[in-house]
Structure 1
């Protein structure tokens, strides 16, 4: 699988669209009118959950430019609810959004990775960033 562009038309056949339609099974962690969260099938940490908006958005920019304010607020609140439900606030967790090829975005549907369960190291390889 190759990284994808953040721009362009939405692909209704991407894996997350299929998960939202129930065509591909997933292990649900959280669900509401704005978001769906599920366990990543290729976890990069002991806890690795993906949170996706229910709407058709390719990237963070697409989402923040196109979604209604209530949808944006609801999605961001959902990410917080997922973290709280997983009880990862202490000792900590990381949220990550990849957008575009240089960030190694693999699925052309906005998604937030939530990582927890072990020390996660620096944000970028090669050095610590504030």
Structure 2
């Protein structure tokens, strides 16, 4: 879809810190992360919501989300993660995307008040993306 930001990222027309590029899904750092290492996983093909995704594609897509979740936890050395998706309401980009956010106890994330942060610069963002890519390549699903 020409006017979709995430489709433009998938196509390589808009730069992003990619951590995963699979045939069916792409993962990249959220430009305004809840915590550094916050990844968005999107289907390569434009789907606005979860209900727009073909049932036979869900298993592969969520298997990818599972891999990214393990990699984020490992790469960030976090105690756990927050995995979420919105359908229309609070969906800032109308393209299905799953948030994978590294979490630690007493990290300040409470309820639905989610303060956003920023990477210091592109170099710092690239370092976080590299750490997650490395954890994905390692393929080890063990916890950190």
State the TM bucket, normalised to the shorter chain.
0.7 to 0.9
2:39 & 2:8 partners in 1: Cα distance? 17
TM-score, L = length of structure 1: 0.74
Higher relative contact order (CA 8 A, sep 6+): 1
Matched, 1:49 2:39: yes
Structure 1: gaps of 5 or more residues:
1-10, 126-130
TM-score, L = length of structure 2: 0.67
Structure (1/2) with the larger helix percentage: 2
Please identify runs of 4+ aligned residues in structure 1 that moved more than 6 A. none
- The count of aligned residue pairs is 109
Task: Tell me the CA shift for residue 68 of structure 1.
Answer: 5.1
Matched, 1:91 2:83: no
Q: Name 1:35's counterpart in structure 2.
A: 25
Task: Tell me the CA shift for residue 49 of structure 1.
Answer: 0.6
The RMSD of aligned alpha carbons is 2.0
1:89 & 1:42 partners in 2: Cα distance? 20
